[in-house]
Structure 1
Amino acid sequence: MVPAGDDMAPFDSVTARLILLLAETGSIGRAAEREGIASSAVSRRVSDLEARLGVVLFDRSAHGVRLTKAGEAYAEGCRTVLRSIADLDAIMADFGSGQRGSLRLACTSSALTGRLPELLAKFAAKYPGIEISIGEMGAAKALLALDEGQADIAIVSDNYDFKRFDIKPFEDERVWVLAPPEHPLAEQIEPRKALPFEAVLPHAIVGIHHAGSLDRLLSEAAGKAGKALTEALRVESFPALVRMVEAGFGIGFLRSTSLHLLAGTDLVCAPLAEPWAMRQLLLARRKSSPLSAAMKSFMALAGETYLPST
C-alpha cells in the first residue's frame, strides 16, 4: 500500500516542454520568453520537479543552465513521452474521415519563399477541415521539433544528418552569388553562365544565419578549397542580405528559391558552377511516427507537384 502523500504526480506535458526548452536555450529567461510566462514560474516548475524526483536536473550558473546527467536522462524521457502523445493523436485522427485534423510543419525560410505557399493554398482548398500550423525556423531546430513530436513534417535543406528520418525531395534549389553592378566581381558575371566558386572567394561577403544550412554549405566549400570566407557583416534575413549587398557591403549568396527578392534591384547574379551548389529541399518525418491522414494527403500532393530540375 502506497503511503498517503507519496503518490507519483501525473506526467506534466507543460513542464516537460519547459525542460526541453531549457535544454535547448540554456537560459531560464529565454525559455520563459519563448513560452510567454514569467521566469519565476519556470524556475518554480523546475524546482518543484527536482524536489519531487529527488534529483538535480540542471546545473545553474551565471551563464545559464545546463542539463546534469540525470537531467539528460529525464529530457530524453520527456522527448519519448511527447513523441508518443503526438503519435497517438495521429493514430486517432486516422479513425476519422481524413477530412479533419491538423498538420504541423516546421520549415526553413527557403521553403517558405519557394513553392510551399502555393502548395499549402491548394492543400487548404482541398482539405478545408485540416488545420495547418507553420513554424519558421532553422533546419537544425526543425529537425529537433520532429524529434520532440512538436512537428509532423519538416521541410529543410539537404546538408544535415537524416539517418533518423524518412525523406523525400521537395524542391530543387541552386546557390547563386549576387553583386552590385559596380563591384569587381560583376565584370565576371555573364547572363545564363555559371560562375566558379573560386572566383568569389577573394571578395568580402554579407553573411547570413550563422551555422544555418547555407552558411555551413559555403564555409565547408571554402574550407575544402583551403580558403576562408571574409565577412563584411552578418544579417539574419534574406531581404536584409539583399539590401546590404545593394548598399555595397559585399557580395552575397541566395538559393534559387529566394531570387524573387532581387526584383526591383539592379544587382547582377549567377549560379555557382560546382555540383555541391545544386541542392534540394527535403520533406522529412520521423521514421517511427505514424502517418496521419493529413500527413498522407500533404505528402501525396507534394509528390504530385514536384518537378525535378533537368
Structure 2
Amino acid sequence: MASFDSVTARLILLLAETGSIGRAAEREGIASSAVSRRVSDLEARLGVVLFDRSAHGVRLTSAGEAYAGGCRTVLSAIADLDTIMADFSSGQRGSLRLACTGSALTGRLPELLAKFAEKYPGIVLSIGETGAAKALLALDEGRADIAIVSDNYDFTRFEIRPFEDERVWVLAPPDHPLAARIGPRRAIAFETVLPHAIVGIHQAGSLDRLLAEAAGKAGRPLTEALRVESFPALVRMVEAGFGIGFLRSTSLHLLAGTDLVCAPLADPWAMRQLLVARRRSSPLSAAMKSFIALAGETYLPAS
C-alpha cells in the first residue's frame, strides 16, 4: 500500500460528510477535477471502490466506510501527536538526566528537584550521584544532560552557570587543640589549621584536590591520619578523635547531633561554588531550558 496521504484522507472524510464532490472542492478551495482525480488514484492504488457515484452525489461503499474510519483514527493520532510534540517543545513533557555530586544532593538540589517535578510532572527525572570528574565525563559521553559539580575543574568545553555558593569549613572535636581557636561565626585562616593531622576524603576528589593545592601553595603539605570515602564517615572519624576534617557548607547538616566545633575558612579560595554544566555542543532541550531557568530563578548569591 502507498504511504498514507493526510490531504487525501481529509478529502475522503469531507466527501463522506458532504456527499458532493463540488461542495468538498469548494470547502477545500480546489478544483472539483482535482478532488475526483485524488479519489480515483487512491481507489486504483487500493484496488477497491470507495464511493458509489450517482447524479445525486457520492456515498461511501462498505470498503469506503472502513477506509474512512481508518482515516479518522490516523488523523486523530496525528493531531494528538502534534499536541504531544508541543508539550515536549514547551518543556511540559520529556526527560532530564542529571549527574550530581554528593555536595549538590545535600544542598538545595533536592528541594529544587521537588519544585521542578511539581511544575513539570510530564518530565521524567533521572538522577545519578557521582564524583565531579565522572559527572563531566557523563556529559562528554552523552549519558547526562546536565551536571551539577564543584567549580575547580576544567570547564572550557562546557557551558556553566552558578548553582549554589558553598564555603569550606573546618571541624574538630571539642577537646582538640584547635577547638580553642574556633569561635562561633568567626572565620579561621587555613594556615592556622595546617599543622594538625586531618581525616582525608575522596582521593583526588574535588575537595581533596582543593585542599592539597592550597597546602602546596602554603608550602606545607597536609598530614593525613587516615582517609575515608564518605562525608558521614569523615564526621564520625573526626568525632572519634582521629584528626580534624573539612566539609563544604552544603554538608554541615551532617554535624547535627554531634559535639564537634566548626568554622569557615577565611581564605578567598575557600569560598567556592557548585555549577550547573552542560556540553556546549549538545542540543538544548526544552526540559534542560526549564531546569536551568528554575535553578537561576532560585539561586541566591552569598552576601
Provide the TM-score with structure 2 as the length reference: 0.71
The aligned amino acid for 2:207 is L
1:280 aligned onto 2:273:
yes
CA distance in 2 between partners of 1:291 and 1:121 (Å):
22
CA distance in 2 between partners of 1:228 and 1:190 (Å):
25
SS at match of 1:170: strand
The 4+ residue runs of structure 1 with deviation greater than 6 A are: none
SS at match of 2:126: strand
SS at match of 1:192: coil
CA distance in 1 between partners of 2:172 and 2:86 (Å):
50
Q: 2:197, 2:222 within 8 Å by CA — same for their partners in 1?
A: yes
1:216 aligned onto 2:209:
yes
What is the aligned counterpart of 1:111 among 104, 112, 115?
Answer: 104
Equivalent position of 2:20 in the other structure: none
Q: 1:93, 1:292 within 8 Å by CA — same for their partners in 2?
A: no
Query: How does 1:44-83 map onto structure 2 within 5 Å?
Result: none
1:201 aligned onto 2:194:
yes
Q: 1:230 to 1:290 in 2, by over 3 A?
A: same
Q: 2:186, 2:263 within 8 Å by CA — same for their partners in 1?
A: yes
Equivalent position of 1:18 in the other structure: none
CA distance in 1 between partners of 2:121 and 2:224 (Å):
46
CA distance in 1 between partners of 2:90 and 2:282 (Å):
20
Q: 2:88, 2:94 within 8 Å by CA — same for their partners in 1?
A: no
The aligned amino acid for 1:303 is G
Q: 1:96, CA displacement in angstroms?
A: 4.4
Q: 1:306, CA displacement in angstroms?
A: 0.2
CA deviation profile, 1:142-201 (whole Å, cap 9, x unmatched): 000000000000000000000000000000000000000000000100111100001111
Query: How does 1:1-310 map onto structure 2 within 5 Å?
Result: 96-310=89-303
For these two proteins, the number of residue pairs brought into alignment is 219
The aligned amino acid for 1:227 is R
CA distance in 2 between partners of 1:245 and 1:225 (Å):
24
User: Which shifted more, 167-176 or 94-103?
Assistant: 94-103
SS at match of 1:211: coil
Tell which structure's C-alpha radius of gyration is larger: 2
Q: 1:205, 1:252 within 8 Å by CA — same for their partners in 2?
A: yes
Q: 1:166, 1:284 within 8 Å by CA — same for their partners in 2?
A: yes
Q: 2:238, 2:244 within 8 Å by CA — same for their partners in 1?
A: yes
Q: 1:216, CA displacement in angstroms?
A: 0.2
CA distance in 2 between partners of 1:255 and 1:184 (Å):
22
Q: 1:95, CA displacement in angstroms?
A: 5.5
Q: 1:96 to 1:237 in 2, by over 3 A?
A: same
Q: Which runs of 5 or more structure 1 residues have no equivalent in the other structure?
A: 1-91
SS at match of 1:207: strand
The aligned amino acid for 1:181 is P
SS at match of 2:250: helix
Q: 1:98, CA displacement in angstroms?
A: 2.4
Equivalent position of 1:64 in the other structure: none
The aligned amino acid for 1:122 is K
SS at match of 1:162: coil
Task: Work out the percentage of aligned pairs sharing the same amino acid.
Answer: 87
Q: 1:99, CA displacement in angstroms?
A: 1.4
Equivalent position of 1:29 in the other structure: none
The aligned amino acid for 1:156 is V
Q: 1:292, CA displacement in angstroms?
A: 0.6
CA deviation profile, 1:36-93 (whole Å, cap 9, x unmatched): xxxxxxxxxxxxxxxxxxxxxxxxxxxxxxxxxxxxxxxxxxxxxxxxxxxxxxxx89
